[in-house]
């Protein structure tokens, strides 16, 4: 059996950054409970963990946007969706500009 394995040095930087961003997005969605059939009743919601993941994602996208080319728009949209979902699921929503990652992206409403 032959494995399809590439050397890390052969992987373009935009692919590495995009994969890291998708992993952060997926983890944040899980921590928000968005992967469950009933996100409102999910036992896995952890907003503190979601905040950290979303902030890391915002920093990565903001710092890398000039290199992402056509990937930048969808990644930004995904980030904003997570930021909005975080606000919706918070018992006491942060003030505009104080939510997860908003110090990098600006306020998300």
Ranges of residues in the chain whose predicted pLDDT is under 50: none
Query: Is the Cα dihedral 81, 86, 87, 88 positive or negative?
Result: positive
Residue pair 60/23 in contact by the 8 Å Cβ criterion: no
Could you tell me which of 77, 70, 29, 37 has the C-alpha nearest to residue 53? 29
* pLDDT confidence of residue 1: 66
Cα(50)–Cα(33) distance, rounded to whole angstroms?
Answer: 10
* pLDDT confidence of residue 7: 87
Cα(68)–Cα(81) distance, rounded to whole angstroms?
Answer: 19
* pLDDT confidence of residue 97: 94
């Amino acid at each position: 059996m032959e494995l399809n394995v590439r050397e890390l040095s052969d992987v373009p930087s935009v692919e590495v950054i995009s994969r890291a961003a998708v992993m952060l997005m997926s983890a944040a969605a899980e921590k928000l409970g968005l992967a469950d059939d009933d996100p409102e009743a999910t036992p896995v919601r952890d907003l503190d963990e979601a905040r950290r993941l979303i902030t890391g994602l915002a920093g990565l996208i903001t710092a890398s946007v000039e290199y992402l080319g056509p990937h930048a728009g969808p990644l930004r949209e995904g980030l904003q969706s997570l930021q909005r979902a975080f606000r919706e699921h918070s018992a006491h929503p942060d003030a505009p500009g104080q939510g997860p990652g908003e110090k990098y992206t600006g306020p998300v409403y």
